[in-house]
Amino acid sequence: MDKKIKPSVRVAITNWHDYDAPFLTKLKLLIRNNWIKIKNQSSCCGNLGEPGC
C-alpha cells in the first residue's frame, strides 16, 4: 500500500524564508511548485529547497 507523505508546513515556511530571491520570484515559485504537486498528485514537486516544495 502506497502512503502519501503530507507536506510539512514547517519545511514550506523554512524554504520561503531561506530562499534568497525577491518576493515576486518566491511567489511565482510557490505557485508553480504547488501546481506541479497538484498535477502529479504528489507531496513533492522535485525542486527541493524552493518555496512551495
Question: What is the average per-residue pLDDT within 16-41?
Answer: 90
Is the pLDDT reported for residue 41 higher than 90?
no
- Contact by Cβ (8 Å): 17, 9: no
pLDDT band of 22, cuts 50, 70, 90: very high
Helix-strand-coil split of the chain, %, nearest 5: 55, 0, 45
For the range 41-48, what are the long-range contacts, defined as Cβ-Cβ under 8 Å and sequence gap of 24 or more? 42/4, 43/4, 43/5, 43/6, 43/7, 44/5, 44/7
